[in-house]
Amino acid sequence: MHPPTHRLKPVHALLMIVTLYMLSGCWQADEGPLPGRTAPVPSDFSFIGRSSACLLELPDVPRSIRVNCFHVDGVLHIHSNRFAKWPRLRGESWVDTVQRQPEVRVAMNGQIYALRGTPMRNESQRVALLKARGYWIAWNGITVFAFEPRPDLPTSTHRS
């Protein structure tokens, strides 16, 4: 007689994978308040390179989330993951929040910048930005935002 084996049946393995896949779209890491000091927005963000970790603080939310900032031609961009529109266990996606309330603050390199996010609505521009970011495939579901100084605040005229 053979001892019992504890292998997952294919249907159970598939259900487990689908569940983990769906839950992965529900998670946003809370990072707490933004570290650093408020600074004028530079006219050129090319100092961050191809990609730089930064923190995004959403309006009316006392926390920040870690995202990857990048620049194209000196303009600051942030993109979502491709599952950002999926249902969440807690709250809404930062993408939905920024589309509704575009005034945000972004922290990087010890500086906090007050910015306004504008989603890329043009599909060819979105694809070009993701390719410039290093993506081979510009997956559907990824939202790209361009960030510029808020019109109600002064900006820096020098390059960082």
Read off the pLDDT of residues 89-116 as tens digits, 9 standing for 90 and up.
667 888 888 999 999 999 999 999 999 9
Cβ atoms < 10 Å from Cβ of 103: 15
- Does the reported pTM lie above 0.75? no
Q: Using an 8 Å Cβ cutoff, are 116 and 68 in contact? A: no
Domain boundaries, the chain: 29-149
DSSP state of 110: T
Tokens matching residue 91: 């709250």
Q: Supply the CATH classification number for the domain 29-149.
A: 2.30.110.10
* Residue-level pLDDT at 82: 74
The residue among 48 and 61 whose pLDDT is bigger is 48
